[in-house]
Each structure stands twice: as C-alpha cells, then as structure tokens.
Amino acid sequence: MKDYASLTDEQLALLYVGGDYSAFDVLLERNQQKLYSYILFVVHDPEMANDVFQETFVKVITKLQDGKYTDSGKFSFWLTRIAHNVMMDNYRHQKTTQIVEPTEDNDLNKLRSNDIMDINRENEYVNTQVMNDVRNLMEALPAPQREVVYMRFYQDLSFKEIAEITGVSINTSLGRMRYALINMRRMAREHHIQLNMEL
C-alpha cells in the first residue's frame, strides 16, 4: 500500500491522472473541509454550498481526466479557482439592491496617491475590528465582495493571489475590496454598530 500521507496534493492529482483512484480519495479528504468552508462563506446557503461543492469536484475530476492539470505547485489555488467560477456562474444574473458597485468605466489606475492611502487605511481598519462584528457585516455583502474580503482576511491571501484565483485583475480585486469596505461602513452606520478605527 502506498504512503499517500507523504505526498503533496499535486503528486496525488498526477497519480489520479495516471489511474490511481485511491489518490483522489486522499485528495478529496484533504481539501473538502477547507473548500466547503470557503464556498459556504461566499454563498451563505448550506444547500447551495453543497451543490457548488459537488459541481466543483465534478469539474475537477473532468479536468484531471482531460489532462487539463499540470503540476504548478498550486493545486489549492487551482481548486479554489474552479469553485470560484462555479459560484460566479450561479450568481451571474443576480443583483443586490442598495449596494455600491463599480461602474463599467471604473479604473483604479486613475486613483490619486491620497486615495491609495485611504485604501490602505481602510484595510488596516477592517483588520483591527472585532471579527464577529465584521463577519456580520460581511454576510450582507454581494458574493464577489464577500469573497475578496474572506480571501484577504481569513485566508491571508495577497491581492495578486486573489486576482489569480478569481480570474480578474489586481485592480478589480482592489476595487471589490474598496466597495466592500464602503458598504460595510454604510451598514455599520445604518445599524449603529460602533467600529473603532485606528489611524
């Protein structure tokens, strides 16, 4: 019997591609809790999360069998990106009312240096808050914004990594974070939630 425990996810994926179906079982067991938690946090519905999780792994199996995976050392990113794409397909036609969204011509390249400093202050602001209050506010955000906040502050991913996983530019990731922070601040005011900002 093979010692799967010593193998990386990437090695297990390649073993599965080569016909070792037990390797996929180990791969699934290693990744299912983290992936499901990520999906549930974004979609906010256990039934939908189960559907997305299952559809994600169907796509993973299909892509592996079609030879569309190469060992890049980033299996978890690849897996998360597939889940992200499945979720975005599900949300593509939904719109949330009264939420600030970027306009079609939004371009963060036009921001002045003072605006960039504001973004940095806002990031610091969210990072220093009581996580329960922040989490409650995050739950009311639209999925793309909630996803970026989750990846940044719960998974500690850089904006470059978030952009890679979600298939958007770094500017779009930053824009989603900025609008998420605007929306969270607005909701905090509306619900009289006191969040202390450290300057």
pLDDT tens digit sequence for 79-134: 998 999 888 887 774 554 445 555 555 555 554 555 555 555 555 555 554 456 76
- Between CA 34 and CA 145 the distance in angstroms is 19
Per the CB < 8 A criterion, the answer to whether 144 and 152 are in contact is no
Q: What is the pTM of this model?
A: 0.57
- Between CA 128 and CA 132 the distance in angstroms is 12
Per the CB < 8 A criterion, the answer to whether 177 and 168 are in contact is no
pLDDT, greater one: 183 or 31: 31
Q: Please give the span between the terminal C-alpha atoms of the chain, in angstroms, as a whole number.
A: 57
User: Sign of the CA dihedral 58, 60, 63, 65?
Assistant: negative
- Between CA 138 and CA 142 the distance in angstroms is 9
DSSP 66: T
pLDDT at 123: 52
pLDDT at 9: 92
Burial 42-57 (b: 16+ CB within 10 A, else e): bbeeeebbeebbebbb
pLDDT at 195: 58
